[in-house]
Amino acid sequence: MSAASRLTPFMGRPDGINPAQALAAADANLEAYRETALALVDKAIADLAEGAASAPHEEIERLADSIAALAGMFGEDGVTHAAKRLCETVRGMVVSRAWEQTTIDVHIGALRLIRTRAGTQDIAQLLAGLDRLAARKVQGLG
């Protein structure tokens, strides 16, 4: 009978580690990468701010996707939220063929603001506004 997967033979091997050890090591590795990851987030936001007016929508979406994935790994929920809304907004505008640069700029401005640590209540209001904007764009209303 064959193994369930190609990883099965590595179970129970000598000099192994257990899940708690694996997770502790992974968490430590991730923490060591935090500053690098957040620097990449800031770089991507800066790239958006600098080039979004002339960049193809694929590039805006790629940068927003990258921001959401990286920031989300390190508890930057507001940034992740805003970046995901930017992705949805871009896709909605592409589908409806109604590009609106101002809306893109609002999202990029929000990303910059959140990274500069505005007050929590301000961020919540900002994100609620982006949700409404994204919903309109996805539905082709705005």
Partner 1 sequence: MADLCIETDQSFNFGEASVLIVDENNGFMDIATQMLSGFGFRKFHRCNRLSESKTFAQSHEADLILVDPFPRADDGLTLIQDLRARQAPGSAPRVVIIMTGHTPRELIQKARDVGANYVVAKPFSPATLLDRILWSTGTTKEAPGETPVRDPLAAAASALLQ
Q: Please, is 80 exposed, middle or buried when counting C-beta atoms within 10 Å of its C-beta (0-12, 13-18, 19+)? A: buried
22-31 CB burial, b ≥16 within 10 A, e <16: eeeeeeeeee
Could you tell me which stretch among 15-23, 47-55, 103-111, 119-127 binds partner 1 (CB under 8 A)? 15-23
Does residue 14 touch partner 1 according to CB under 8 A? yes
Tell whether the torsion through CA atoms of 8, 9, 14 and 16 is positive or negative. Answer: negative
Looking at the Cβ atoms of 6 and 121, the one nearer to partner 1 is 6
Q: Per CB under 8 A, which of residues 111..140 are in contact with partner 1? A: none
68: Cα separation from own chain's centroid: 0
Least Å distance between CB 139 and partner 1? 16
Size of the site for partner 1 (CB under 8 A): 47
Does residue 7 touch partner 1 according to CB under 8 A? yes
Does residue 13 touch partner 1 according to CB under 8 A? yes
Phi-psi region of 117 (alpha: psi -120 to 50; beta: other; left: phi over 0): left
Does residue 6 touch partner 1 according to CB under 8 A? yes
Neighbours of 92 (CB within 10 A): 21
Q: Per CB under 8 A, which of residues 30..49 are in contact with partner 1? A: 30, 32-33, 36-37, 40
Contacts with partner 1, residue ranges (CB under 8 A): 2-20, 22-30, 32-33, 36-37, 40, 58, 61-62, 65-66, 68-73, 80, 84, 87
